[in-house]
């Protein structure tokens, strides 16, 4: 077994005992990345020198001061700012942007001894679900390079699935951690809104955005969330709720757990093979002692459109900061300030980003504000109330993470509307602020399928407990893409 | 059938100061019309008496002491700007 095929938890044990050094792990990681990048292009920037230097420094640290992620390599989605390391949001607008501070999650990773291996590819400004809108070219799925890895955190999912890194951070505004996790056969968690500080996460839609954790096992995911969660003075929407050690929740005992399965989640629009895989997963949970029942969600069909209106409206406000004057791309062709704004944005933003900003402006305009934006916010209340009612009786809501397996490259052209059936499954967790996790639950035509578990606010522990029990009862997480064996 | 003309595209893009080519206007005209069409299902929802949801997890009056902290260095921050002079960011002519 090579170093890079080990989980973060396994690496951690070896590193703490001094059986391997941080430098050895980093070197093996960089070597694996070099082998695979030509095929999958998960990284925008591999931080070879920075990571090597950091590993050497860590190896000097006394054994008793080592943090929970001591020497463990991690990749970071390129919309999370890293001091002195380019953060591009996969956009020409920020092609050469070097942040002057760290996101809070990055500071916490550093304090825990993790090694940032580099910045991961994504859809431009996290707008997309295929990673095809990146200014730097698309990432490919390690299971089959004719397919996309999903998105927008496609690089974060592909890097973990290919064994380039054991852990990565993504961000999830409408499924952007969970859907690529499902497409790449790994574990992806979008925690409760406010669980992780958003300070330093480039804002897309502020009432929906949340940093998420990605890994090959549930245990690694729980470890990573334990390190980066918590209240932050720099983010007033971060929660003061105490952060438990999530790994302590992995008891394997789910007897008596009450599981709701929304009927629409296994209905029209979801591929029949995926429905079959999730039904099979539900029967595994039942054999472990869970009680599963079907429920209705009366407003669920409005979730995608509610999301399109709210996310685009918030995006048009958030992205107005990119003016080319204070930082970022700057047009060379402006005679006056007005022209500088127009041309900087014309040349700096890609088509998907422009489209969403213009649509968001339409939805927020005086003539349409009440009928679109405010109406979407009211519908959001109704959707949240549907889930509140379900969670009064049940501990978790289960369904597929996505309605299909990974799309073929170029199949959707990154078009938002093609993804409607997936959005019904993905966006409710963001609209309601609830935690949701994707765990591998099967394969269709050699492409991974994910099961989604959604929970009560701030009850990530139950999601980890259920996902871990399921994972231990099945073998899907043990399968690796052939790229890992160098085929 | 919803229409969103090239003029509509320009009208809304102007508010957010995004320059567009003729090809862009054509492309966005069709795509945004599709989007508007697709979100029209919101009109079916009975929202009588429903309060708009602005935050997924309600938090009220999050305050902290207003104490000065070590913040970022001015020189370092200014270095990100394309053009600067005497500690100020230089912009093209305004008039």
Report d(CA B26, CA B22) in Å as an integer: 6
pLDDT single digits (tens) A330-388 = 999 899 999 999 999 999 999 999 999 999 999 999 999 999 999 999 999 999 999 99
Contact residues for A478 (Cβ-Cβ < 8 A; gap 6+): none
Six token digits for residue A129: 């679900």
Per the structure, the complete domain to which residue B33 belongs is given by: 1-44
Of B17, B27, B56, the CB nearest to A351: B27
pLDDT value at residue A418: 62
Q: Tokens representing B85?
A: 């002079």
CATH number of A3-255+436-485: 3.90.1300.10
Contact criterion met (CB < 8 Å) for A355 and B45: no
CATH no. for residue B7?
A: 1.10.20
The token pair at A142 is 């390690």
pLDDT (tens digit, 9 = 90+) per residue, A263-306?
999 988 899 999 999 999 999 999 999 999 999 999 999 999 99
Q: Are strands A167-171 and A73-77 parallel, antiparallel or unpaired?
A: parallel
Question: How many other CB atoms are found less than 10 A from the CB of residue A275?
Answer: 16
Query: E strands within A320-380?
Result: none
Contact list in B for residue A299 (CB cut-off 8 A) is 45
Which chain B residues are within 8 Å of A233, Cβ to Cβ?
64
At B9, the pLDDT band (50, 70, 90 cuts) reads very high
**Minimal Cβ distance to B93: which of A207, A336, A431:** A336
Active-site amino acid positions of A = 77, 152, 176
pLDDT tens, position by position, A405-436 = 999 999 876 566 667 889 999 999 999 999 99
The distance of A211 to chain B (nearest Cα, Å) reads 15
* Partner-chain contact A365 B12, CB within 8 Å: yes
In a domain, B25, yes or no: yes
Q: Which two tokens stand for residue A112?
A: 């825990």
The DSSP 8-state label assigned to residue A202 in this structure reads P
Cβ pair B34:A432 closer than 8 A: no
Kindly tell me if the per-residue pLDDT of A485 is higher than 70: no
What proportion of chain A, given as a percentage, has pLDDT over 90?
Answer: 94
Say what the pLDDT of residue A87 is. 98
Contact criterion met (CB < 8 Å) for B47 and A382: yes
Q: Could you tell me if residue B84 is inside a domain?
A: no
Q: What is the mean pLDDT of residues A114-134?
A: 97
DSSP string, A155-180: HHHHHHHTTS-SEEEEE-SSSTTHHH
User: Beta partners for A292?
Assistant: A259
Token pair in block for residue A71: 């020497």
Nearest CA in chain A to B67: A233
Q: Does the model's ipTM exceed the 0.90 cut?
A: yes
The residue-averaged pLDDT of A293-320 equals 97
Instruction: Judge contact between A403 and A180, C-beta under 8 A.
Output: no
Q: Choose the mutation target among A101, A358, A383 for the interface with B, i.e. most B CBs under 10 Å.
A: A358
| Closest chain B CA to residue A239 | B59
**DSSP labels, B20-43:** --HHHHHHHHHHHHHHHHHHGGGG
Render pLDDT for A30-56 as a digit per residue (tens, 0 to 9).
999 999 999 999 999 999 999 999 999
Q: Which residues of A touch B92 (CB under 8 A)?
A: 334-337, 339-340
Flag whether B55 is in a domain. no
User: How close are the terminal C-alpha atoms of chain A, in Å?
Assistant: 16
For testing contact with chain A, the best of B32, B53, B72 (most A CBs within 10 A): B53
Q: Read off the pLDDT of each residue in A51-69 and give the average, rounded to a whole number.
A: 92
CB contact under 8 A, B38 and A308: yes
Instruction: Decide if A380 and B52 are in contact by the 8 Å CB cutoff.
Output: yes
Segment B46-90, tens digit of pLDDT? 999 999 999 999 888 888 888 888 788 888 889 899 888 898 999
For the residues A83-91, what does the mean pLDDT come to? 98
Work out the percent of chain A whose per-residue pLDDT is above 70: 98
Among chain A residues, the shortest Cα distance to B61 is held by A236
- Residue A469 scores a pLDDT above 90: yes
In a domain, B5, yes or no: yes
The answer on pLDDT for A487 being more than 50 is no
pLDDT at position B60 is: 83
CB pairs under 8 A between A and B: 173
* pLDDT tens column, A219-260: 999 999 999 999 999 999 999 999 999 999 999 999 999 999
φ, ψ (nearest 5 deg) of residue B66 = -90, 75
**The pLDDT value given to residue A486:** 55
Provide the mean pLDDT of chain A: 96
Name residue A258's beta-bridge partners. Answer: A291
Question: B19 to chain A, minimum CA–CA distance in Å?
Answer: 5
- Sheet of A73-77: strands edge to edge? A43-46, A115-120, A73-77, A167-171, A211-215, A187-190, A436-444, A447-454, A396-400, A258-262, A291-295
Q: Work out how many domains chain B is built from and give that number.
A: 1
- Region A16-43: mean pLDDT is 97
> How far, in Å, CA of A30 to CA of A43, rounded?
12
Asked if the Cβ–Cβ distance from A357 to B16 is below 8 Å, we say: yes
In a domain, B82, yes or no: no
Domain boundaries, chain A: 3-255+436-485
Q: How far apart are CA A437 and CA A450, in angstroms?
A: 9
pLDDT tens readout for residues B19-54: 999 999 999 999 999 999 999 999 999 999 999 999
DSSP A147: B
Beta carbons of A101 and B72 less than 8 Å apart = yes
Q: Which residues of A touch B18 (CB under 8 A)?
A: 342, 345-346, 349, 354, 357-358
Which of A237, A337, A430 comes nearest B91 by C-beta?
A: A337
Please check the confidence at residue B3 and state whether its pLDDT lies above 60.
yes
> Is A359's CB within 8 Å of B17's CB?
no
């Amino acid at each position: 077994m090579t170093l890079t095929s080990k989980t973060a938890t396994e690496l951690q044990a070896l590193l703490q005992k001094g059986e391997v050094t941080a430098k050895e792990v980093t070197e093996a990681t960089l070597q694996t990345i070099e082998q695979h990048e030509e095929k999958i292009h998960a990284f925008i920037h591999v931080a070879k020198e920075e990571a090597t230097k950091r590993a050497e420094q860590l190896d000097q640290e006394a054994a008793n001061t080592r943090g929970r992620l001591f020497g463990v390599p991690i990749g970071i989605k390129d919309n999370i700012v890293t001091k002195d390391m380019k953060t591009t949001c996969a956009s020409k607008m920020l092609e050469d942007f070097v942040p002057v501070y760290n996101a809070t999650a990055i500071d916490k990773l550093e304090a825990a001894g993790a090694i940032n291996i580099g910045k991961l590819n994504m859809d431009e400004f996290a707008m997309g679900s295929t990673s095809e809108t990146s200014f730097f070219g698309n990432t490919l799925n390690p299971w089959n390079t004719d397919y996309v890895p999903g998105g927008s955190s496609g690089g974060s999912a592909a890097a973990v699935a290919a064994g380039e890194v054991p852990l990565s951070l993504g961000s999830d505004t409408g499924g952007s951690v969970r859907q690529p996790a499902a497409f790449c056969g790994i574990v992806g968690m979008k925690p409760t809104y406010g669980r992780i500080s958003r300070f330093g996460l480039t804002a897309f839609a502020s009432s929906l955005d949340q940093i998420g954790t990605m890994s090959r096992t549930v245990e690694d995911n729980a470890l990573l969330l334990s390190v980066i969660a918590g209240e932050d003075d720099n983010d007033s929407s971060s929660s003061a709720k105490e952060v438990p050690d999530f790994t302590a929740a992995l008891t394997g005992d789910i007897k008596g757990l009450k599981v709701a399965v929304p009927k629409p989640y296994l209905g029209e629009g979801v591929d029949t093979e995926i429905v079959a895989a999730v039904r099979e997963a539900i029967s595994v949970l039942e054999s472990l002692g869970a009680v599963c029942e079907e429920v209705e969600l009366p407003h669920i069909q409005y979730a995608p459109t509610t999301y399109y209106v709210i996310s685009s409206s918030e995006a048009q406000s958030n992205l107005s900061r990119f003016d080319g004057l204070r930082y970022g791309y700057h047009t060379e062709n402006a005679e006056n300030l007005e022209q500088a704004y127009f041309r900087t944005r014309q040349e700096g933003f890609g088509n998907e980003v422009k489209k969403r900003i213009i649509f968001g402006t339409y939805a927020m305009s005086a003539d349409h504000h009440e009928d679109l934006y405010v109406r979407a916010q009211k519908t959001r209340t109704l959707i949240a109330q549907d889930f509140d009612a379900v969670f009064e009786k049940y501990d978790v809501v289960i369904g597929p993470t996505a309605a299909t397996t990974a799309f073929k490259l170029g199949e959707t052209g990154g078009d938002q509307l093609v993804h409607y059936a997936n959005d019904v499954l993905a966006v409710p967790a963001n609209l309601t602020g609830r935690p949701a996790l994707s765990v591998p639950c099967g394969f269709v035509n050699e492409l991974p399928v994910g099961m989604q578990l959604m929970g009560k606010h701030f009850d990530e522990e139950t999601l980890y407990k259920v996902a871990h029990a399921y994972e231990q009862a099945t073998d899907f997480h043990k399968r690796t893409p052939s790229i890992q064996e160098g085929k | 059938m919803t229409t969103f003309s090239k003029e509509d595209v320009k009208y809304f893009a102007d508010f957010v100061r995004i320059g567009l080519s003729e090809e862009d206007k054509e492309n966005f005209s069709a795509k945004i019309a599709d989007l508007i069409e697709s979100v029209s299902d919101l009109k079916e929802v009975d929202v009588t008496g429903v309060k708009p949801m602005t935050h997924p997890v309600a938090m009220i009056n999050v305050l902290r002491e207003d104490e000065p902290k070590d913040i970022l260095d001015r020189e370092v921050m200014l270095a990100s700007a394309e053009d600067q002079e005497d500690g100020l960011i230089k912009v093209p002519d305004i008039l």
